Structure 1
Amino acid sequence: MASKQSLFFFSLLFLQQLRFSASQSTVKAAYWYSELEFSADDIDSSLFTVLYCSFAKLNSETFQVYIPPQLTQKFATFTSTVKRKNPSVKTLLSIGGGRANKADYIAMASDWNRRQAFIQSSIRLARDNNFHGLDLDWEYPADETQMTQFGYLVDEWRTAVADEASDTGRSRLLLAAAVFYSPDYYSVPYVVPALARSLDWINVMAYDFYTPASVSSPSLTKPPAALYKDPTERYGGDAGVSSWIGEGFPAKKIVLGLPFYGYAWRLVDANRNGLYAPANGPALSGDSAMGYTEIREFIADHQNDGKAVFNGAVVADYCYGGTTWIGYDDVQSISGKVSYAKDKGLLGYFGWHIGADADMVLSREG
């Protein structure tokens, strides 16, 4: 049975969440990826209510969070930079990322002392660099033990930021986490109650469902981030969001992920160029990813031998030119997903990543 202290604590968290909901009606967000040349000065922050600065790293020996030395100045000035165009924008320091060493996060979350090292160092780093909150991008806790420990981590994180705010008299740091598109990570369920009570919101990564360079779909063109899944397919953003809500996660604490990039397949036959056309893996080197600005250039270069198509049934775009086929989200898809988020009663939406939308074309759809 819960102690009186525990009941008081979680009642306090609930009241804090209510106050947050009242003040933050919509999250219109995007990630700034520091490893690219796109400068924070070039962000039109007037289009957003929240901006993420990514990524801080985790020390594999001390389990403290740190900013790589070459990025220290960029991170230290990020908040002041984006506030020039929008004084009310909130900034969150994002930790981890898809390229982070998963083993470090597993080791950190597995031990109370290591979790405390992570938590206390993250709070100091956020305060020292004038961020309004913290965001964890652990991709992904992969078994039941890791999910349980992820739950411990966010609960302890919430306690720590509340204590720090009480001790200093400052506004409490916001807490968010990027999560799988579904609360079920390949049959491993998230600890939904812990995330719901301790995070201000979750960033649902409703993209990368299909890519040409992985086992998911090298031989057929498919929409990488469709909102609605084709009846014959497994993945779709709405299916993921609905399953989060179905598991008891509040819709008003869900932020829907929007990709500002796409993937290029190589068609087997240039004349068979629709969705689910035969393909032969990636059309480009690496993972065949292309930013939205690059995709617009591709479309402009292939006006004579290509076409851009919006599929309203699944809410996804694709374009082709010659034997190159690109699945992505254009203005219509982004606009449709923003409308969906509003109609579904979600807290908002975020784009990954803003450097791929250098002209802010997609960012303006919010």
Structure 2
Amino acid sequence: MASKTFAYVLSVVIFSFLLQLHSSAGQTVVKGVYWFPGSGFPVSGIDSTLFTHIFCAFADLNPTTYQVTISSSNSAQFSTFTQTVQQKNPSVKTLLSIGGGSSSPSTFASMASQASTRKSFIDSSIQLARSYKFHGLDLDWEYPSTSTEMNNLGLLLNEWRAAVAKEASSTRNTTLLLAAAFFYTSNYYTLNYPFQAISNSLDWVNVMAYDFYGPSWQGSMNMTGPPSALYNPRSQVSGDTGIKAWIQAGVPAKKLALGLPFYGYAWRLLDASKTGIFAPANGPAISPDGSQTYSQIRDLITQSGYIKAYNSTFVTNYCYKGLTWIGYDDTESIFTKVTYAKAKGLLGYFAWSVGADKNFTLAKNASSTWGP
């Protein structure tokens, strides 16, 4: 019994030491972007000089074994991802992102519920990251939806951190980076995230400060809205509210990256003469859910005569023509958001996704605004 107690105490001391080492060796800046194969944008086309970190999305979670896997259709692109993006920028870091909006949250919940299944996830993720030459891993569980799941998320993050530290020590490899994409604010509909585990175990959090309004969503179908407002005098749903909540919860500003959407949403107006934010509308326009990439929106402005506007109160761009209205981020709002992130002492920013900004207009704006 005494030997078991000693072993337990020793393990706690070692883990605490590893956490201290980790916390003293954090990132300096994140200029991040996600890439995913469904975008149709080639990995070789990414101007990686504009980024410090590029996320390759998404690896899958097997619902039976709880191991992280890469589909056969993605294997070839994922296996050469790091090598390809480092040709233009040898210092850029790559992270394998796991999950995403189309993955089953119940599978993640089941995986995180037991130590053995968490271990399956953790061990397989590390093995994949090493074999595919990624510099880190990114968790995108959307979303833990009970207090038990949030608690289990904390256990998962702590065990993940301990495992990557142990693996780096035993192999003498550089420790894998650990990041996660979380809700725009520190609680998911009143459920608090595990703040201590996040602060201790993640290198940073990608704060998804977007998708606040959409034309196919209940509550925002009948009027236009700023999809990713930095400020919102009408409600608490904004990027600024979320960032402040994360910091007030105890997660250091230097562990937060502000999310930037390289896309927007199109509404169908009820009255062509009413073209402002919160104008009467009737669901999506142009596409089934109204989504439009930044490149598509720019083409509408330059080629189809859409009128462009910027609202500095909300920090959002929009454009309109006839009965179509599109809310999105352009150079004005990107500049203001990146300036805000730097002034708040955040670690940086990230964008979804690189293929939506084909000419890198927004990426160049963000990178130059932050500076070297």
TM-score, normalised on structure 1? 0.96
Q: Which residue of 1 aligns with 2:65?
A: 62
Q: For residues 254-269 of structure 1, what are the structure 2 equivalents within 5 Å?
A: 254-269=256-271
Matched, 1:169 2:175: no
Q: Which residue of 1 aligns with 2:209?
A: 206
Q: For residues 301-340 of structure 1, what are the structure 2 equivalents within 5 Å?
A: 301-303=303-305, 306-340=306-340
| Identity of matched residues, % | 51
Contact kept, 8 Å, 2:39 with 2:356, in 1: the verdict is: no
SS of residue paired to 1:226? coil
Q: State the Cα distance separating 1:259 from its structure 2 match.
A: 0.2
Mean Cα deviation higher: 283-292 or 80-89: 283-292
Q: State the Cα distance separating 1:103 from its structure 2 match.
A: 1.4
Q: State the Cα distance separating 1:7 from its structure 2 match.
A: 4.1
SS of residue paired to 1:276? coil
SS of residue paired to 2:361? coil
Q: Which residue of 1 aligns with 2:77?
A: 74
| Alignment size in residue pairs | 359
Q: State the Cα distance separating 1:295 from its structure 2 match.
A: 0.5
Q: State the Cα distance separating 1:37 from its structure 2 match.
A: 1.1
Q: Which residue of 2 aligns with 1:291?
A: 293
Q: Which residue of 1 aligns with 2:20?
A: 14
Q: Distance in 2 between matches of 1:5 and 1:244?
A: 30
Q: Distance in 2 between matches of 1:10 and 1:246?
A: 24
Residues 160-203 of structure 1: CA distance to partner in whole angstroms, max 9, x if unpaired? Answer: 00010011000100000000000110011101111110000000
Q: Distance in 1 between matches of 2:116 and 2:275?
A: 54
Q: For residues 36-185 of structure 1, what are the structure 2 equivalents within 5 Å?
A: 36-185=39-188
Q: Distance in 1 between matches of 2:348 and 2:290?
A: 29
Q: Which residue of 1 aligns with 2:224?
A: 221
Q: Distance in 2 between matches of 1:179 and 1:113?
A: 24
SS of residue paired to 2:41? coil
Residues 81-124 of structure 1: CA distance to partner in whole angstroms, max 9, x if unpaired? Answer: 00000000000000000011111111111111111000000000
Tell me the C-alpha RMSD between the 2 structures: 1.2
SS of residue paired to 1:362? helix
Q: Distance in 1 between matches of 2:103 and 2:288?
A: 18
Task: Report the residue type matching 2:304 in the other structure.
Answer: H
Q: Distance in 1 between matches of 2:78 and 2:29?
A: 25
Q: Distance in 1 between matches of 2:286 and 2:150?
A: 35
SS of residue paired to 1:115? helix
Q: State the Cα distance separating 1:34 from its structure 2 match.
A: 1.6
Q: Which residue of 1 aligns with 2:5?
A: none
Unmatched segments (≥5 aa) in structure 1: none
Task: Report the residue type matching 1:6 in the other structure.
Answer: V
Q: State the Cα distance separating 1:8 from its structure 2 match.
A: 4.1
Shift >6 Å, 4+ stretches: none
Q: State the Cα distance separating 1:4 from its structure 2 match.
A: 5.7
Q: Distance in 2 between matches of 1:36 and 1:277?
A: 31
Q: Distance in 1 between matches of 2:152 and 2:206?
A: 19
Q: Distance in 2 between matches of 1:265 and 1:71?
A: 33
Task: Report the residue type matching 1:118 in the other structure.
Answer: F
Unmatched segments (≥5 aa) in structure 2: 1-7, 368-372
SS of residue paired to 2:310? strand
Q: Distance in 2 between matches of 1:36 and 1:50?
A: 18
Residues 204-254 of structure 1: CA distance to partner in whole angstroms, max 9, x if unpaired? Answer: 000001111011301111100000112x22311010000000010000000
Residues 62-96 of structure 1: CA distance to partner in whole angstroms, max 9, x if unpaired? Answer: 11001100111100000000000000000000000
SS of residue paired to 2:80? helix
Q: State the Cα distance separating 1:16 from its structure 2 match.
A: 2.1
SS of residue paired to 2:38? coil
Residues 13-65 of structure 1: CA distance to partner in whole angstroms, max 9, x if unpaired? Answer: 12222123xxx311001000122210010000000000000000011111100
TM-score, normalised on structure 2? 0.95
Q: State the Cα distance separating 1:3 from its structure 2 match.
A: 4.2
Q: State the Cα distance separating 1:256 from its structure 2 match.
A: 0.6
Residues 338-363 of structure 1: CA distance to partner in whole angstroms, max 9, x if unpaired? Answer: 11110000000000010101110000
Residues 277-309 of structure 1: CA distance to partner in whole angstroms, max 9, x if unpaired? Answer: 000111134221110000001112332xx4111
Task: Report the residue type matching 2:78 in the other structure.
Answer: F
Q: Which residue of 1 aligns with 2:276?
A: 274
